[in-house]
């Protein structure tokens, strides 16, 4: 009789989950999730006391709690359960492994330093206790072992990486959902919820209790944050109400590709700003692991067979390759990827440390409407379009010259789809310290005029600018006093004065 424990991390799904599938070959299986307190609460950034940030903000906390509830429900439907514990995985997992007499623990592995550090401690403790550990790579399109070269040898720029995988690698088929063996006998069945389901300790009978799935209120510290978590988009202005979990992830794939048939025009619409259909919006599910990129890939292939194969279908996979690229870059460069000089070791940039400027940027009060509208969308909903992220990040890093890692840490708090590799990778890229040696500054005003020509987006998020014609909604500082009076929008009262001189500072060539 063999017993396995599967440790769920950012792989909150049953489909295409190799750690689960391998563990399911045992006679008995204990699925576990550990709520690690180190992932919540505020902390100083980079060891500096001056700036503290919330590690996981309300939007992602809510999403994760929903994903856990969904995973538990799916496991219970299969006569299994999700045992949930709060604590450090390196302490919790060996205890649980002992309680159920586990022979082995399976888990997925990720390349970012914090995740690796936890994993290393877990491995060491389990092995000390004679429990076998098996780790799997499962969050990218291409398996790390299928890359044309070792990950340590991959190019540092995207195009050669993309060309090499397109030419010399293939995407594995997604694994199906396995049938699950029973829980170890000492686990009290989670379907009996009449009793003391709250206790996460072993009971007098020696049973392992399922424990509670956390709620946003238990994971977030201050009251304001809890409000947002419970009502993610209080004004209903967001592009989509992102609901956590594998069920919602599969439903989103279904609606975007099949029901709404949006994939056929993805390449033309992907730079949009308003509405759910301009891009796939799959990122939150991909990053919490509710959705496997290989599953998405297979669905795109099926769509190409059954509906249409065109540039748009290629381009969605092209973007998933960007996601892969940053994962493998972090695997290659480790901690240096997150350092201020970055992988290009740039020590020639004079980064500023200006709290007041940073706060204006983070509150969406820079006085540059295209930046402010995007930041307010992020703050309110946890999401921002790719076009928005590029401009907001460029304004922070290139126009304000604020330490790019502080902006990235702010995104880390707020984004519902935060991923360390994609987030810090894109920020470093735009800040000029990452995977591209070209100037990646964005002409924010030019971008605003191009991508929001009628100012529908800025006025959606900045209703105070609604009375203005589009050219003034993007550049309200151009109004004379008389025009401000005429439109009922007074600069410095109804909307901030710009914090930089737009004519001098926002004049860069356009990018990607
Ligand atoms: P789609 O346009 O539908 O793309 C499909 C998928 O491809 C996305 O879900 C995503 O997984 C992947 N993808 C697309 N563009 C990129 C990219 N540039 N880099 C990596 N993967 C990409 N994406 C995250 O998933 N998490 C982050 O924390 C994150 N932070 C970012 C920070 C900055 C400063 C910038 C410029 C971009 C960031 N991105 C991040 C990438 C991109 O903006 C989002 O993946 C995308 O907007 C998510 O929306 P979507 O799912 O509709 O994307």
CB of 279 closer than 8 Å to CB of 272: yes
CA-to-CA distance for 379 and 364, rounded, in angstroms? 9
What pLDDT, on a 0 to 100 scale, did the predictor assign at position 226? 45
Q: What pLDDT is recorded for position 417? A: 98
Q: Tell me which residue has its CA closest to atom 2 in ligand 1.
A: 279
In this structure, are 153 and 56 located in the same domain?
no
pLDDT confidence tier of residue 505, bands split at 50, 70 and 90: low
Ligand 1 pocket at CB < 6 A: 270, 279-283, 286-287, 316, 319-320, 322-323, 326, 385-386, 389-390, 393, 411, 415, 417-419, 422-423, 426-427, 430
Q: How many domains does the chain have?
A: 3
Burial class (CB in 10 A: 0-12, 13-18, 19+), 91: middle
430 contacts: CB under 8 Å, gap ≥ 6:
390, 393, 394, 397, 398, 404, 440, 441, 442
* 477-486 pLDDT tens trace: 999 999 999 9
Among 248-252, 426-430, 461-465, 500-504, name the one with the lowest average pLDDT.
500-504
User: What does the pLDDT read at residue 192?
Assistant: 47
Domain boundary (118, 136, 154) is at: 136
User: Does one domain contain both 478 and 449?
Assistant: yes
Residues 317 and 397 in one domain: no
Q: Are residues 408 and 492 in the same domain?
A: yes
Measured at the alpha carbon of residue 292, what is the angle toward residues 406 and 26, in degrees to the nearest 5? 115
Question: What does the block give as tokens for 461?
Answer: 């998020």
478 inside domain: yes
Q: Which atom of ligand 1 is nearest to the CA of 427?
A: 34
51 lies in the same domain as 166: no
**Six-digit token pair at 195?**
């009793």
**Which pLDDT tens digit goes with each residue over 271-294?**
999 999 999 999 999 999 999 999
Range 431-450 average pLDDT: 89
Mean pLDDT of 310-326: 98
Tens of pLDDT, residues 196-207: 444 455 556 778
Q: Which of 220-234, 323-337, 369-383, 489-503 has the lowest mean pLDDT?
A: 220-234
Beta bridge pairs of residue 3 = 28
Looking at ligand 1, which residue's alpha carbon is closest to its atom 25? Answer: 283
**CA 282 to ligand 1 center in whole angstroms:** 9
Q: How does pLDDT run across 112-148, given as a tens digit for each residue?
A: 999 999 999 999 999 999 999 999 999 999 999 999 9
460: buried, middle or exposed (CB in 10 Å: 19+, 13-18, 0-12)?
middle
pLDDT computed for residue 506 by the predictor = 55
Per-residue pLDDT tens digits for 344-400: 999 999 999 899 999 999 999 999 999 999 999 999 999 999 999 999 999 999 999
Say if residue 98's pLDDT is above 80: yes
CATH value at residue 469: 1.10.579.10
Tell me the pLDDT band of 42, cut-offs 50, 70 and 90.
confident
Q: How far apart are CA 180 and CA 110, in angstroms?
A: 25
Is 194 inside a domain boundary? no
Q: How far is the CA of 395 from the centre of ligand 1 (A)?
A: 18
Indicate which CATH number applies to the domain containing 256: 1.25.40.80
pLDDT score of 480: 97
Does residue 389 sit within a domain?
A: yes
- Tell me what the mean pLDDT of segment 328-348 comes to: 94
> Is 234 within a domain?
no
Summary mean pLDDT of the chain: 92
Do 487 and 404 belong to one domain? yes
Give the three-state DSSP class for 106.
Answer: strand
**Mean pLDDT value of segment 224-231:** 49
* Mean pLDDT value across residues 320-335: 97
Please, which pLDDT band fits residue 228 given cuts at 50, 70 and 90? Answer: very low
What integer is the mean pLDDT of 221-244? Answer: 70
Tell me whether residue 405 is in a domain. yes
Number of neighbours of residue 281 by Cβ within 10 angstroms: 19
Split at pLDDT 50, 70, 90, the class of 236 is confident
Q: Please tell me the number of Cα atoms within 13 Å of 492 on its side-chain side.
A: 4
CATH number of 118's domain: 3.40.50.620
Dist CA 503 CA 211 (whole Å) = 58
Q: To test the ligand 1 pocket, which listed residue (142, 297, 315, 422) has its Cβ within 8 A of the most ligand atoms?
A: 422
What's the pLDDT band for 44 if we cut at 50, 70, 90? confident
Q: Which residue has the tokens 């302490």?
A: 91
Show the domain range for 90.
1-136
Q: Dihedral angle at the C-alpha atoms of 279, 285, 286, 288, nearest 10 degrees? A: 150
Q: Which of 298, 333, 368 is the last residue of a domain?
A: 333
- pLDDT for the residue numbered 84: 98
Instruction: Please name which of 388, 376, 375 lies closest in space to residue 430, comparing C-alpha atoms.
Output: 388
Residues 319, 403, single domain; the answer is no
Are both 259 and 319 inside the same structural domain?
yes
Q: Which two tokens stand for residue 98?
A: 């002992």
**Are both 169 and 311 inside the same structural domain?**
yes
49 and 38 belong to one structural domain: yes
> Does the residue 146 lie in any domain?
yes
pLDDT of residue 231: 59
Q: What is the pLDDT of residue 46?
A: 57
- At 32 the pLDDT is 98
* Residue 232 placed within a domain: no
Question: 2 and 27 share a domain?
Answer: yes
Position 190 pLDDT exceeds 80: no
Is 222 part of any domain?
no
449 and 327 belong to one structural domain: no
Closest by Cα among 47, 137, 421 to 411: 421
510 vs 271, higher pLDDT? 271
């Amino acid at each position: 009789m063999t017993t396995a424990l599967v440790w769920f991390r950012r792989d909150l799904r049953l489909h295409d989950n190799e750690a689960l599938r391998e563990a399911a070959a045992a006679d008995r299986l204990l699925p576990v999730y550990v709520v690690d307190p180190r992932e919540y609460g505020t902390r100083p950034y980079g060891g500096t006391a001056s700036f503290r940030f919330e590690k996981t903000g309300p939007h992602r906390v809510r999403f994760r709690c929903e994903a856990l509830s969904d995973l538990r429900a799916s496991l219970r439907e299969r006569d299994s359960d999700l045992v949930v514990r709060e604590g450090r995985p390196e302490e919790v997992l060996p205890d649980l492994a002992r309680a159920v007499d586990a022979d082995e623990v399976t888990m997925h592995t990720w390349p970012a330093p914090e995740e690796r550090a936890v994993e290393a401690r877990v491995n060491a403790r389990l092995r000390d206790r004679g429990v076998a550990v098996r780790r799997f790579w499962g969050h990218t399109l291409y398996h790390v072992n299928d890359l044309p070269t070792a990950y340590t040898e991959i190019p540092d720029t995207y195009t050669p990486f993309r060309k090499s995988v397109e030419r010399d690698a293939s995407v594995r088929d997604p694994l199906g959902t396995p049938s699950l063996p029973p829980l170890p006998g000492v686990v009290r069945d989670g379907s009996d919820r009449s009793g003391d389901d709250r206790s996460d300790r072993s009971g007098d009978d020696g049973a392992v209790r399922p424990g509670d799935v956390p709620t946003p209120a238990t994971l977030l510290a201050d009251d304001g944050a809890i409000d947002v978590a419970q009502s993610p988009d209080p004004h209903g202005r967001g592009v989509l109400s992102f609901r956590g979990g594998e069920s919602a992830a599969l439903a989103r794939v279904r609606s975007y590709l099949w029901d709404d048939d949006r994939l056929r025009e993805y390449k033309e619409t992907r730079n949009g700003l308003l509405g759910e259909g301009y891009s796939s919006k799959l990122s939150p599910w991909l990053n919490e692991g509710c959705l496997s990129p290989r599953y998405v890939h297979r669905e795109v292939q099926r769509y190409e067979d059954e509906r249409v194969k065109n540039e748009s279908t290629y381009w969605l996979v092209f973007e998933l390759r960007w996601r892969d690229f940053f994962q493998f870059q972090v695997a290659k460069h480790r901690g240096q990827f997150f350092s201020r000089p970055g992988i290009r070791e740039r020590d020639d940039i004079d980064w500023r440390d200006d709290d007041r400027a940073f706060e204006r940027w983070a509150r969406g009060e820079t006085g540059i409407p295209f930046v402010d509208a995007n930041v307010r969308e992020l703050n309110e909903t946890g999401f921002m379009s790719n076009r928005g992220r590029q401009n907001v990040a460029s304004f922070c890093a290139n126009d304000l010259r604020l330490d790019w890692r502080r902006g990235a840490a702010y995104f880390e708090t707020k984004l519902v789809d935060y991923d360390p590799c994609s987030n810090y990778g894109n920020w470093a890229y735009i800040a000029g310290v990452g995977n591209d040696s070209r100037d990646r500054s964005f002409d924010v005003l030019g971008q605003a005029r191009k991508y929001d020509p009628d100012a529908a987006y800025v006025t959606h998020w900045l209703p105070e600018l609604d009375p203005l014609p589009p050219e003034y909604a993007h550049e309200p500082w151009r109004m004379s006093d008389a025009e401000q009076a005429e439109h009922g929008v007074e600069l410095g009262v109804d909307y901030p004065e710009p914090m930089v001189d737009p004519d001098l500072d926002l004049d860069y060539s356009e990018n990607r």
